[in-house]
């Protein structure tokens, strides 16, 4: 078991290293020159050369990569090219906002999706099951920004119940932030619930034809008890996987939602930095998102192994 967990951890570290190389190489091959973009109309050959020397852009790419990755591992994310401030100081507040938004959405989406999936499996083939399936398929088909704009139009503009923009700041406490989080969290919830609910329903239905389920039915056990007590424990592994993968989406996939609602999170910060060509910020945000995603994937693998004895003893 320990060897299996260590292999999963080593694979995760290797994946992060490969991703870091891709992120650095991707920002390196972008068209244009960072020094020229910073100077703008004041760019002259002398000023451009001075800025390139100051930023270390004249060094070979592999040396800059080693320096960047070493600094990241030590908590030094570099210096923002636009604000001239450490990236770590600016990311802290935004990362906290993104994690708060993802947590609020997850607290709504996860229990709701599992409950709906179980009820749909219990009432398979009924009007309720068909209605839930059609609704979730519709939610999956619509992009996040479209759902966000629909909610803004009806809830914020037409009904006036909630603000259309989520302009939170560091001076607000949690209770002041919650009303501003409802619309973006609801947008994320509608998308993630659809995925988790459909996977939960499919996983439960897949084991309903097993011999032990048929035996429970012959004993006269109620359908909901069969699903909850007999079917659900045997499908925990795929459910855990889909739940944690959707948690990773809630953290990493918030870029579009944050831009729609002008929410000051990591996604909004990254988009602004791309438009300003602030390469250190883009690299830091990309690697943080990758770390969260790979970390949650490793967590899903480990929990699946712990929940399923067949994965612990494949022979």
240 HSE (CA, 13 A, CB side): 19
Instruction: Give the structural domain span for 60.
Output: 2-73
d(CA 257, CA 222): 42
Q: Are 255 and 271 in contact (CB under 8 A)?
A: yes
Residues 126 and 47 in one domain: no
Helices (H), the chain: 2-28, 34-39, 45-55, 61-73, 87-122, 127-141, 144-151, 174-207, 211-218, 223-225, 236-252, 255-260, 266-276, 279-307, 309-312
Q: Are 254 and 265 in contact (CB under 8 A)?
A: yes
Residues 23 and 164 in one domain: no
What pLDDT shows up at residue 37? 61
Residues 67 and 149 in one domain: no
Residues 158 and 106 in one domain: yes
Beta bridge partners of 79: 86
Residue 107 has which token pair?
Answer: 């607290």
What pLDDT shows up at residue 31? 64
Residues 206 and 62 in one domain: no
Residues 107 and 223 in one domain: yes
**Domain final residue pick, 73, 102, 117:** 73
Residue-level pLDDT, tens digit, the chain, 315 residues: 677 778 878 888 888 888 888 888 877 776 666 666 666 666 666 666 776 676 666 677 777 788 878 888 887 777 777 777 888 888 888 888 888 888 888 888 888 888 888 888 777 778 888 888 888 788 778 888 888 888 888 888 888 888 877 777 777 777 878 888 888 888 888 888 888 888 888 878 777 777 777 777 777 777 777 777 777 777 777 777 788 888 887 877 778 888 888 888 888 888 888 777 778 888 888 888 888 888 888 887 777 777 666 655 555
d(CA 189, CA 199): 15
Residues 103 and 142 in one domain: yes
**Domain final residue pick, 43, 73, 103:** 73
In a domain, 79, yes or no: no
In a domain, 81, yes or no: no
Residues 42 and 170 in one domain: no
**Domain final residue pick, 45, 73, 101:** 73
Residues 111 and 250 in one domain: yes
In a domain, 85, yes or no: no
Q: What is the DSSP letter of 94?
A: H
In a domain, 155, yes or no: yes
In a domain, 177, yes or no: yes
Residues 61 and 185 in one domain: no
Q: Are 223 and 235 in contact (CB under 8 A)?
A: no
The DSSP string of 64-84 is HHHHHHHHHHTT---B-TTT-
In a domain, 78, yes or no: no
Residues 135 and 60 in one domain: no
In a domain, 243, yes or no: yes
The DSSP string of 217-283 is HHTT--HHHIIIIIIGGGGHHHHHHHHHHHHHHHHHTTHHHHHHTT--SHHHHHHHHHHHT-HHHHH
Residues 26 and 58 in one domain: yes
What pLDDT shows up at residue 75? 79
Please work out, in degrees rounded to the nearest 5, the angle formed at the alpha carbon of residue 269 by the alpha carbons of 52 and 243: 130
- Nearest residue to 308 (alpha-carbon basis) of 225, 212, 203, 194: 203
Residue 259: CATH number of its domain: 1.10.3720.10
Quote the number of domains for the chain.
2
């Amino acid at each position: 078991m320990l060897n299996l967990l260590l292999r999963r951890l080593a694979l995760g570290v290797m994946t992060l290293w490969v991703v870091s190389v891709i992120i650095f190489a991707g920002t390196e091959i972008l068209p244009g020159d960072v020094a020229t973009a910073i100077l703008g109309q004041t760019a002259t050959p002398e000023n451009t050369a001075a800025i390139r020397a100051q930023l270390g852009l004249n060094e070979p790419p592999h040396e800059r990569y080693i320096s960047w990755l070493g600094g990241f591992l030590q908590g030094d994310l570099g210096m923002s090219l636009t604000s001239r401030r450490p990236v770590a100081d600016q990311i802290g507040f935004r990362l906290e906002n993104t994690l708060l938004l993802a947590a609020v959405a997850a607290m709504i989406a996860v229990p709701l999706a599992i409950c709906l999936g179980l009820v749909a499996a219990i009432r398979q083939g009924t009007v309720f099951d068909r209605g839930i399936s059609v609704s979730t398929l519709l939610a999956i088909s619509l992009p996040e920004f479209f759902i966000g704009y629909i909610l803004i139009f009806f809830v914020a503009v037409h009904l006036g119940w909630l603000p259309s923009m989520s302009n939170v700041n560091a001076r607000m406490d949690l209770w002041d932030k919650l009303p501003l989080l409802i619309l973006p969290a609801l947008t994320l919830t509608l998308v993630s619930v659809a995925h988790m609910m459909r996977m939960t329903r499919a996983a439960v239905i897949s084991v309903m034809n097993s011999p032990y389920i048929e035996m429970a039915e012959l004993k006269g056990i109620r359908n909901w008890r069969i699903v909850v007590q007999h079917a659900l424990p045997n499908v925990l592994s795929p459910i855990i996987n889909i739940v944690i993968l959707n948690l990773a989406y809630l953290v990493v996939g918030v870029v579009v939602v944050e831009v729609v609602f002008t929410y000051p999170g990591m996604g909004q910060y990254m988009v602004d930095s791309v438009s300003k060509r602030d390469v250190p910020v883009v690299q830091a945000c990309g690697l943080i998102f990758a770390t969260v995603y790979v970390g949650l994937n490793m967590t899903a693998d480990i929990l699946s192994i712990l929940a399923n004895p067949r994965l612990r003893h494949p022979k």
